[in-house]
Structure 1
Amino acid sequence: MSTARLLYILICLIFPSSSTSSVEELEILLNIPTALQSSPSSAAFISWIPENPLCSFAGITCNSNGSVLEIDLSGKQLSGELPLDSICHLSSVEKLAFGFNSLHGTLSNQLCRCTGLRYLDLANNRFAGQLPDLSTLVELHYLYLNNSGFSGAFPWDSLTAMTNLVALSIGDNHFDSSPFPKQILGLQHLNWLYMSNSSISGEILPEIGGMTELINLELSDNNLTGGIPPEVGRLTNLWQLELYNNSLTGRLPIGLRNLTKLESFDASMNYLDGDLSELRFLTNLLSLQLFMNGFSGGVPEEFGEFRKLVNLSLYMNKLTGPLPQKLGSWSEFDFIDVSENFLSGPIPPGMCKQGKMTKLLMLQNGFTGEIPATYGNCTTLTRFRVSKNSLSGSVPAEIWGLPALNIIDLAMNSLEGPITANIANARSLALLFVSNNQLSGKLPDEISSVRSLVAIDLSDNQFFGEIPSTIGELKRLCSLNMENNKFSGSIPDSLGSCSSLSNVNTARNLLTGEIPRSLGSLPVLNSLNLSNNKLSGQIPSTLSSLRLSLLDLSNNLLIGPIPVSLVQAYNGSFSGNLGLCNSEAIEVPFRQCPSTSHLDENKRTLIIGLIVPIVFFMMLLGIFLYMYSREEKHDDYSLKEELWDIKLFRILKFNEDEILDSIKPENLIGKGASGNVYKVALPNGKEVAVKHIWRSSSSPGGRGGRYRKRRRRSSPGHTSDKTEYESEVETLSSIRHIKVVNLYCTITSQDSSLLVYEYLQKGSLWDLLHTEGRNEGDKMELDWDARYEVALGAAEGLEYLHHGCEPPIIHRDIKSSNILLDEFLKPRIADFGLAMVVGSDPTHHVAGTLGYMAPENGYSYKMNEKSDVYSFGVVLMELVTGKRPIEPEFGENNDIVNWVSSQFKTPEGVLGLVDSQIPEPVREEAVKVLKIAILCTMALPPQRPTMTSVVHMLEDAKPCRLVRIINYNDSSDKDASLSEPES
C-alpha cells in the first residue's frame, strides 16, 4: 500500500463524522435541495420544508432514535453536484441512493467519511473523473456505480477491505483497461457482479469458481480472451451468466451442466466452438443466446423439453441436423433465430402455441417440408423469415395477413400457391420478399391497401394477370421487383405516384401497352428495367429527366425516335426493338428516323385531330389540379389558424410568426416520410430550415432489416417507445457540437410540430455525390481534399455522439443524406429521428436504411455504437467510389460492401474502385480511406474499430498538403464546439 493512500485512510479514521443533533441533521438535509435541482414534474423536495419533521421528508427514513438512516432519491430527475461533504456528517446514515438522475461533477474525497454506509447507489448518472479511494467503506453491502460516467483507473485495491459486499455493479463506465481483477476473488459473499463494458482484458481467472454465492455474473462487452474456465461450473447458484461480445475461444467447458438454476445464458459474439451437448441439462433456461460463434453438431433434442424456454438465438454458427419438434411449445415462446447454419428437417410447429411469439428467423439453412399452418394464427409475429431453405407446399393463407408482421421473407424456396387477399390485414408490413419460388395466381388488389410497404420482390415465380391499377397508393414503396413472371396487361399509370420508388423491375413478363409517362416524374428513381415484355408505342420523353444508373427497355415492341439524351447515355438499353429509330446523326445501331416534312396531309390532319381533344383534356386536368391543390393546402399552409407553443434551445432573434408566415409552397425544399422541409429566409437576413411534422405521420417508415430482442441487463435504463419527432428533439436539444446540426427551437400545436434548424447551404452529401446535374458547380467542388475533410468532420461528429455525450447516443440512421454540408462543405450530422441513448430499450421498429444497416441489425433490436460505425463505413465507401450503397452493377442481393470487398484483391482492382472524378495522383490517398471503410464494415461488431479509432486512422491518412490547414482548423473547431452558436 502506497504512503499517500495509507495517509488518506488514516485521516478518514482519525477524523470520523461526529454524532449530529436533529437540528444539525435538518440543516444538512436542507442543503441537498440547495445543491441539487429537480425537474418541476418530479416534485422531489415538495415535503422538504423546515416546518415538517425531517423523518417525514420524502425519501428519508429514520432509525428509532429519529436520526437519518436512509436517503433514497433515486429517479427523481435531479441534477447538480452531490454535496457529499455535508451528507457524510450524518452519523447514522447507512443508505445513500441517488441512481437514475443527472448528477454530474466529480466525487469528493469526503465520501471516505461515510464509514457507516451499507448501501451506496450512484448508478446511471453523469459524473466525471476518477473514483476516489473507497477502502474506508468497510460496511458496504451494496455498491452500484454502473453507467455513472466515471473514467480513469478503478480503485481495485479498495475492494480488498469490502469483504461484506453482496452486490457490486460497476459496468458501463470508461475505466482504464485492466486485467481481470484479482481483488474481486476475495469477495466471498458476493451474489451480484456486473462488470460488463468495463475495459477488462485477459483471461477469466479460474479462482472465480470459489465465489459460490454468485447468482448473477455479467462480464460482457469487454476484451476477455481464452476459454471459459471449467471452474465456472462450480457456481451452481447462478441465475444469469452473460459473456457476450468478447474474444473467448474454445468449447463450452465440462461442468457447465451443473448450473441447473441458470435461466439466462448469453455467450454470443465470441469465437467459441464445439457442440452444445453440455447445455442439455439446463432445464430452467428461459433465454439462450449463442449467436455469432463457431458451434457445430446438432441442437440437443432435450431443448424440446425445456418448459421455460422463451428466447433461442443461435444464428451464424455451423449447427447441423433437425430442430427438436417440441421446441418452444411449452411456454410463452418469444423468438427463435437459427439463421445461417446448416440445419435441416421440418420447422417445429408449436413455437407459437401459447400465442406470444414475435419473431421466427430461420433463413439460410436446409429446412424442408411445409410451413406449419399453426403460424397462420400467430397474430403477435412481427418477423417471419425462412428464406434460402428447401421448403415446399402452399403458404398458409392466414400468414399473408398477420397484422403485426413487418417482414415476410420466403425467398429462395420451392413454395407454391397464391398471395391471398388476406394481405389486406397486414397493416404493418414493410418488406415482402418471395422471390425464387413457384408461387402463382394473380397479385391481389388488396396489396394496395398495405400502405406501410417499402419493398416488394416477387421475381422468379409464376404470377400472372394484371398489376393492380391502384398500386400507386403505396407511397412509401422504394423497390418493386416483379421480374420473370407472367404478368400481363399494361403498367399502371398510377405507379408514377409512388414518389419514393428508386428501383422498378418488371422484366421478363407479358406486359403490353405503352410505357407510362408518369414514370418520368419519379424523383429518386435509380434503376428502371422493363425489358423482355411486349410493350409498344414510343419511349416517353419524360424519361429523359431521370438520372438512372440502369435503364433497360430491350426486347419489346417499341417504335419511334429514341430521346436524344437517352440514346447517348444508354445506347445499349434499346436492342430488340426493331421499330425504334435515331432522330439525330449519332452513330448508334438504329436507323435514322424519317423527317417530319415527309408526313402526308392525312397524317397532319390526324395529328391536329388528336391535339384538340388533348388540349381540352389538359384544361380540365388543370382545373381539377387547381381545385385539388386548394383542398390540400390546409396540410401545410393554413398554420396560422392553429394555436402554437414555442420551446427554445438557443437564444433566438426571430419569433414563431416569422416562421409560420414562411411555410408556403415556394419555400419547399424537400419531402420525407415524416414531413416536409422548408427553407425560410428571416427578416434579419438569417436562413433556417424548418421541418414540418404531422403527428399522424411521425412514425418511422421505409426501413428494413432483421433484429433480435434486446437481452436483459442488470441495471438497465428504461424508456418508452418514442416517435421520431420526440427522439429528434430530445437528442438535438441536448447536443452542442460544431459537427452536429443545431436545433434552434420547436413550435408545436395539437396536430403538428415545426423543428427549426440551422440551414446548410450545400444540402446533403448524397445530393452532391449522386444527384448529377443538380448543381454542377457544387459537384466540381467535391474534389478529394473536400471529400477527405467531409469524412473526417463527420467522423468527429459521430465520435462526439459515442464518446463525448453522457450517456452516449447511437444515431441508428447514419447515411450520406443525413450528412449536411455548409457553404464551405463543412459537414453536420443530422436527422436524429431514430437516435437512442446507450442503455435504453430500443423501439420495435425496423431501424436504419437499406444499404447502410449493419448485418446484426437484421437479427437484433439491440444496437450499439458499432452499428453506427458500420453505416459510417458505407458512407466512406460512397465518398471514395462515388457509388450509391445499392447499384445494379453490384449484382443481385449485393451492396457496396460486398462489391468493394470482392474487388479488393489486386492493386489494379483496388485503384479501379476509386471514383473516376478523383485524379490519379491522389488515388492512393483515397485507397487509405477505403481501407478504413473496410475495417468499419467488418461482419462481426467486435472487429470494427470505435469512432475514436476511426478518427485517429483518418487523421493518419490525411493528405500531406492538408496537414497545415487541418491542424489550424482543428484548434478552432475545438473552441467552436464549446461555444453557443448564434441564432
Structure 2
Amino acid sequence: MSTASFSLLLCFLCFFSSLNSQSDELQVLLNVKTAFQKSNTNVFNSWVSSNSICNFAGITCNSGNSVTEIELSYQNLVGVVPLDSICKLPSLEKLSLGFNSLSGSISDDLNKCTNLRYLDLGNNLFSGHFPEFSSLSQLQHLFLNLTGLSGVFPWKSLENITGLVTLSLGDNPFYPTPFPLEIVKLTKLNWLYLSNCSIGGTIPQDIGNLSELINLELSDNNMSGEIPSQIGLLKNLWQLELYKNSLTGKLPVEIGNLTKLEKFDASMNYLEGGLSELRFLTNLVTLQLFENELSGEIPMEFGQFKKLVNLSLYGNKLTGPLPPQLGSWANFIFIDVSENYLTGPIPPDMCKQGTMEALLMLQNNFTGEIPASYASCTTLKRFRVSKNSLSGTVPAGIWGLPIMNIIDIEFNQFEGPVTSDIRNAKALGQLFLGYNRLSGELPGEISGATSLVSIKLNDNQFSGKIPETIGELKHLSSLHLENNMFSGSIPESLGSCDSLSDLNIAHNLLSGEIPSSIGSLPTLNSLNLSENQLSGQIPDTLSSLSLSLLDLTHNRLTGRIPQSLSIEAYNGSFAGNSGLCSQTVSTFQLCKPEAGMSKDVRTLIACFGVGAAILVLSLVYFLYLKKKEKDHERSLKEESWDVKSFHVLGFGEDEILDSIKEENLIGKGGSGNVYKVALANGKELAVKHILNTDSCGRNKSWSTTPMLARRGGKSKEFDAEVHTLSSTRHVNVVKLYCSITSEDSSLLVYEYMPNGSLWDRLHTSTKMELEWETRYEIALGAAKGLEYLHHGCDRPIIHRDVKSSNILLDEFLKPRIADFGLAKIVQANGGKDSTHVIAGTHGYIAPEYGYTYKVSEKSDVYSFGVVLMELVSGKRPIEPEFGDNKDIVDWVSSNLKSKERVLSIVDSRIPEFFKEDVVKVLRIAILCTERLPSLRPTMRSVVQMLREAEPCKLAGIVISKDGASKKKEVTDKGKFSPGV
C-alpha cells in the first residue's frame, strides 16, 4: 500500500470514528432529555436528532464537535440526574444544573466525569450524601450549596483536588464536623462558602495559607473561640462573613490589614472589646456587628469612609457619639445602632445623597434635635429614635414623607404639633409618638394617611377635638390617645373604623355621650374611656361587643348599666359614675322600677311570655329540622349530578349522596358542612357539601349555612378548591377523589383523616399527648406539603389560610395540608403578583396584610411559622397570657433575652432530653415570622432547616443524658435589626 493510500485510509478511519463519537454523544444527550422529560421548560425543544448536538440549547462543543459544557441552570428541571449517561461524554468540562428542582441521590458515577473543571448542582432538592469524588482532580469550581444533601461530607476527597478555586458547600445539613483542615491546603481558593453546614470547632490558624481568598463565609455554624490573628494575612478579602456563631474575644489587631474588605459581618457572636481595629478598613461598604458584647466608642474614622452605606451595630455596649460626617459620602442606606449607650446628636448628613431608607437609633442616650435635613429625605421608610433624650420640634416634612412606614419617637422630650403634612404620608402604617411633650390639635388631615394601622399619641399635651375625619382610616387597628387634653365629644365616625380592636382615650377632657356606633365595631377587643367627663347612658350597643377590657370609670354616666354588661368580668368597669344604677351590681344603687304595674307582676308576665315563646319556638324548630332533613335528602336524590373523578374510584355517586345526612355530620365551616361517609367496602371518606347561590347571592338549596362572597352558580371557594386539589399530587396534601356537582349543590369527596386536625390534637378537650418526635414529623411533613405547593407545581400555589386546623392527621398521625377554599395560584407573569383579597385567620395572618393587603408565598411562610410555635409551645396563637393585642409571635419575641427564657417557651410536656432539639425548630419559626417578607426563608429552605433539626433519637444519634456538645442558644432576631 502506497503512503498516499495509507494516509487516505487513516482519514477515513478518523472521519468514521468522529461520526461514531458524535452519535454516542447524541444518544447521551437524548438520555438526559428523557431523564428530565417531566420538566416545565422549553430548553429541550432544540434537542432533536435532526439537529447537530452543538446546536442544542445549553450545549457548548470544542473544535472537534465534542460536548465540553452542559449549561442547564435556572430551567425548572425536575427528575434524577443521569450521571451514568452524562459522564460518558469524554470531553465534558462543565456541568451546570444549579437552581432547579432536581431530586434523588448523586450517584458514584460522578467519579467517571474525570475531566470536569466546573460542577454546579447547587440550589436543588437532592437527598442522601455526596459521594467520594477524589477522581475529579481537574476540578476548579464546585457549587453544592443548598442541595439538600446531608450525612458526612467526603472532606478527604479535597486532598486530591488542589486546583480548586471555588468551593461552595453552604446551606446543607451535613453531619457536624470541626473545620476541615483539608481546606486550608487549597491555596488557590479565592471563594469559600461554608455557611450553615454544621461546621464547628475553631477557625484554624492555617486559614492564613489561603492568601488568594476574596470571599470567606463561615456564618450560621457552631464555631467558637477567637478570630485568629492570621486572618490578617488574607489581604485580598472582599467579603468576610462570620455571623451567627459562638465566637469570643476581641477583634484581632491584624484585621486592620484587610484594606480591600468591603463587606464584614460578625453579628450574633460573643465578641468584646472595641472597634478601633476597624478604623483602617476605608473600603467598607457594609459593616454589621450587631448583638455582641462590643464596647467603647465608634472610631471617628468611620465618618470618612467614602463607600459605607450600611452600618448595623445594635445590641452592644457602645458609648460616645457617632462621627458627625457618618454616611455623608456614599449613597447611604441603613443605620441601626439601637440598644447601646451612645450619646450626642444625630449625624445630620446621612441622607445627603438622598438614598437613606432606615434610621434606627432606639434606646440610647442621644440628645439634641432631629436635623432638619431629614425632612426632605423622601426615600426614608423607617424612622425610629424612641427611648432617647431628644428634644425640640419634629421637622414638619418628616410627618409627610411619602413612603415612610413607621415614625417612632416615643419616650423623648419633643415639643410642638403634628402638622398637616401628615396628609402626604400615604404609606405610613405606624405612628408612635407617646411619652413626649407634643401639643396642639391633631390635624384633620391625618385621614390622608390612609395606611395607618396603629396610632399611639398617649402621654403628651395634645388638645382640641379628636378630628371627625379619623373615621376614614379604614385599616386602623389600635388608637391610643390617653393622658392628653383632648376635649369635645368622641367622634361618631369612629364606628366606621371596622378594623379597630384597641381603643384607649382615657384621661382626657372629653364630654358628651358615648357614641352608640362604637358598639358596631366588629373586632373591638379593648375599650378604655375612663377619666373623662362623659355623660348620658351607656349605649345598649356595647352589649354586642366581646371585650377583654372595658373601662368606663370616673366619668359622669347615668342611667341603667346594660344587663349584659353587669357581669363579674366587668366588675370595677363602671366605678366613679355616681349616676349609674343596676339591678345586679351591688356597688350601685338599684334602678327605680318604671311607672305602672308592680315589679312582681311585670316579672311574672315576662317569665310567662318568655317560657311560652321558648316552647313554641322549640316545637317549630323541631318540625323545621325534620322537614329540612327530609327535603334535603329528597332534593339531593332528585338533582342531576355531574361527577368529575381525579383518581380511580371504588364507589358511586349514590353511595355518597345517601350518606349526606345529619347523623353523619362531623364539621361545619364558612363554606359548607363536612360529612363522614363509610363505604360498603369499609373505606371512609370525608365529603364537603357546598351550597350554590343564584346571581343575587340567595341560597338555592335547603340549608342556611353562611358562606363567603359568591357569584352565580358554584361558589368561588368551590372553584378554588377543585382547581387546586385536582392538580396536586403529594403525600402531604389531602387527596381529592372527585367532585360531584349539580345546579344547587357541590360535593367534594376527600380521603378521611381519622385523627382530625393538629389543632384538635394540641388544643381541644379531646387533645392527645404528642411526643416531640411526632410533632417534629408533623412539622416536617406539613412543610413538605407547602414546599410542593410553592415550588413543585407548574405555577406556585398560595394557600392563604395555613393554620393548625387545616393540617389534618391520618391514622399514623402523618399530616396533610387541607382546605384550599382560599388558595390562589400565582399568575404566570413571573410569580411576583399578589392578591388583594383579605384572607386568613386571626393569629396566623402575616403583618403585611395590615399594611398592603397583599399576600405572597412568604405570607404562607409566616403562617407556618406560627404553626411551628404552636408545636413548640403547646399554646394557641392567641392566649390571654400574651397580653392585650399580643399574639404568640409577640410573646415568643419577648422571651428571647436569655437561654432560660427561651427554654421557658418550650411546652412543659416535652422531656428535657429534647429541649435543645425543640429550640432548633423554634429558631426556624422565628425566621419564618420575620416582619419583612423578604427576610423570611422560602418553604424549600424551611424544609432543609427542619431536616437539619431532626431530633437526636430520630437521627440515630446516641448522646448522654445531660446532652452532648454545646449548642448555641437561640436569641437572634434575624440578620437585620429589631427595628426592621
* Same fold per superposition (TM over 0.5): yes
1:955–1:435 Cα change, 3 Å:
farther
- Tell me which residue corresponds to 1:173: 172
Instruction: Give 1:678 shift.
Output: 3.9
- Tell me which residue corresponds to 2:780: 799
Secondary structure of 1:786's aligned partner: coil
- Tell me which residue corresponds to 2:562: 563
Q: Does 1:594 align with 2:592?
A: yes
CA distance, structure 2, for counterparts of residue 292 and residue 849 of structure 1 = 34
1:455–1:877 Cα change, 3 Å:
farther
- Tell me which residue corresponds to 1:409: 408
1:162–1:263 Cα change, 3 Å:
same
CA contact (8 A) 1:880 1:927 kept: no
Structure 1 residue runs without a partner (length 5+): 1-16, 601-646, 656-668, 671-676, 695-724, 747-754, 769-777, 856-860, 915-922, 957-983
CA contact (8 A) 1:528 1:548 kept: yes
1:862–1:408 Cα change, 3 Å:
farther
Q: Does 1:526 align with 2:525?
A: yes
| Counterparts of residues 255-334 of structure 1 (less than 5 Å) | 255-334=254-333
CA contact (8 A) 1:20 1:91 kept: no
Instruction: Give 1:900 shift.
Output: 12
CA contact (8 A) 1:243 1:268 kept: yes
Instruction: Give 1:542 shift.
Output: 2.0
Secondary structure of 1:494's aligned partner: helix
Of 197-206 and 874-883, more deviation after overlay is shown by 874-883
Q: Does 1:819 align with 2:821?
A: no
The letter of the residue matching 1:35 is A
| Counterparts of residues 796-875 of structure 1 (less than 5 Å) | 796-800=777-781, 818-820=803-805, 872-873=868-869
Instruction: Give 1:649 shift.
Output: 9.8
771, 782, 785: which one pairs with 2:764?
A: 782
Q: Does 1:883 align with 2:865?
A: no
| Counterparts of residues 606-755 of structure 1 (less than 5 Å) | 678-679=671-672, 685-687=687-689, 736=730, 738=732
Secondary structure of 1:470's aligned partner: helix
TM-superposition CA deviations, 1:914-938 (whole Å, max 9, x none): 9xxxxxxxx9759989989999778
1:808–1:494 Cα change, 3 Å:
same
Of 90-99 and 590-599, more deviation after overlay is shown by 590-599
CA contact (8 A) 1:177 1:201 kept: yes
1:524–1:790 Cα change, 3 Å:
farther
TM-superposition CA deviations, 1:275-306 (whole Å, max 9, x none): 11111110011111111111111111111100
- Tell me which residue corresponds to 1:395: 394
1:555–1:790 Cα change, 3 Å:
farther
- Tell me which residue corresponds to 1:962: none
TM-superposition CA deviations, 1:121-179 (whole Å, max 9, x none): 11111111111111000001111111112111111111110011111111111211111
Instruction: Give 1:791 shift.
Output: 9.3
1:155–1:894 Cα change, 3 Å:
closer
Instruction: Give 1:49 shift.
Output: 2.0
Instruction: Give 1:593 shift.
Output: 0.5
- Tell me which residue corresponds to 2:486: 487
| Counterparts of residues 48-447 of structure 1 (less than 5 Å) | 48-447=47-446
- Tell me which residue corresponds to 2:449: 450
The letter of the residue matching 1:21 is S
Secondary structure of 2:32's aligned partner: helix
CA distance, structure 2, for counterparts of residue 325 and residue 835 of structure 1 = 51
CA distance, structure 1, for counterparts of residue 202 and residue 824 of structure 2 = 37
Secondary structure of 1:151's aligned partner: coil
1:123–1:371 Cα change, 3 Å:
same
TM-superposition CA deviations, 1:513-550 (whole Å, max 9, x none): 21122222223322111100111111122222222221
1:791–1:824 Cα change, 3 Å:
same
CA distance, structure 2, for counterparts of residue 849 and residue 300 of structure 1 = 49
The letter of the residue matching 1:506 is I
CA contact (8 A) 1:874 1:885 kept: no
CA contact (8 A) 2:730 2:788 kept: no
CA distance, structure 2, for counterparts of residue 862 and residue 315 of structure 1 = 26
1:736–1:889 Cα change, 3 Å:
closer
Secondary structure of 2:498's aligned partner: coil
CA distance, structure 1, for counterparts of residue 341 and residue 799 of structure 2 = 33
Number of positions where the alignment pairs a residue of Structure 1 with one of Structure 2: 797
Q: Percent identity, aligned pairs only?
A: 52
CA contact (8 A) 2:782 2:817 kept: no
CA contact (8 A) 1:818 1:829 kept: no
CA distance, structure 2, for counterparts of residue 230 and residue 367 of structure 1 = 35
The letter of the residue matching 2:494 is L
- Tell me which residue corresponds to 2:968: none
TM-superposition CA deviations, 1:242-285 (whole Å, max 9, x none): 11111111111120000001111111111111111111110011
Instruction: Give 1:23 shift.
Output: 1.9
Instruction: Give 1:557 shift.
Output: 0.7
The letter of the residue matching 1:160 is E
1:238–1:394 Cα change, 3 Å:
same
Secondary structure of 1:174's aligned partner: coil
Instruction: Give 1:425 shift.
Output: 1.6
1:931–1:468 Cα change, 3 Å:
farther
CA contact (8 A) 1:851 1:885 kept: no
TM-superposition CA deviations, 1:865-918 (whole Å, max 9, x none): 999768844776573898346424999x9957659999x99xxxx9xx99xxxx
CA distance, structure 2, for counterparts of residue 761 and residue 489 of structure 1 = 59
CA distance, structure 2, for counterparts of residue 862 and residue 313 of structure 1 = 25
Secondary structure of 1:388's aligned partner: coil
CA contact (8 A) 1:787 1:879 kept: no
TM-superposition CA deviations, 1:786-829 (whole Å, max 9, x none): 17559987754433456898799899x99999332689999877
CA contact (8 A) 1:149 1:806 kept: no
1:792–1:566 Cα change, 3 Å:
farther
TM-superposition CA deviations, 1:922-971 (whole Å, max 9, x none): x97599899899997789979x9976798859999xxxxxxxxxxxxxxx
- Tell me which residue corresponds to 1:575: 575
Q: What TM-score, normalized to structure 2?
A: 0.71
CA distance, structure 1, for counterparts of residue 522 and residue 753 of structure 2 = 21
Structure 2 residue runs without a partner (length 5+): 1-16, 599-643, 654-667, 678-685, 692-706, 712-718, 740-747, 848-856, 930-941, 956-980
1:250–1:418 Cα change, 3 Å:
same
Q: What CA RMSD, in Å, does the superposition of the two structures yield over aligned residues?
A: 5.3
1:501–1:807 Cα change, 3 Å:
same
1:742–1:437 Cα change, 3 Å:
farther
CA contact (8 A) 1:816 1:875 kept: no
- Tell me which residue corresponds to 2:21: 21
CA contact (8 A) 1:312 1:336 kept: yes
Instruction: Give 1:494 shift.
Output: 2.4
1:744–1:427 Cα change, 3 Å:
farther
The letter of the residue matching 1:887 is G
Bigger CA radius of gyration: 2
Secondary structure of 1:46's aligned partner: helix
CA distance, structure 1, for counterparts of residue 499 and residue 432 of structure 2 = 18
CA contact (8 A) 1:423 1:446 kept: yes
Instruction: Give 1:462 shift.
Output: 1.1
CA contact (8 A) 2:800 2:860 kept: no
TM-superposition CA deviations, 1:810-854 (whole Å, max 9, x none): 99x999993326899998778999999xxx9999x9x99999999
The letter of the residue matching 1:577 is N
Secondary structure of 1:29's aligned partner: helix
TM-superposition CA deviations, 1:456-497 (whole Å, max 9, x none): 111001112222223232222221111111112222222223
CA distance, structure 1, for counterparts of residue 779 and residue 825 of structure 2 = 12
CA distance, structure 1, for counterparts of residue 395 and residue 462 of structure 2 = 17
1:953–1:513 Cα change, 3 Å:
farther
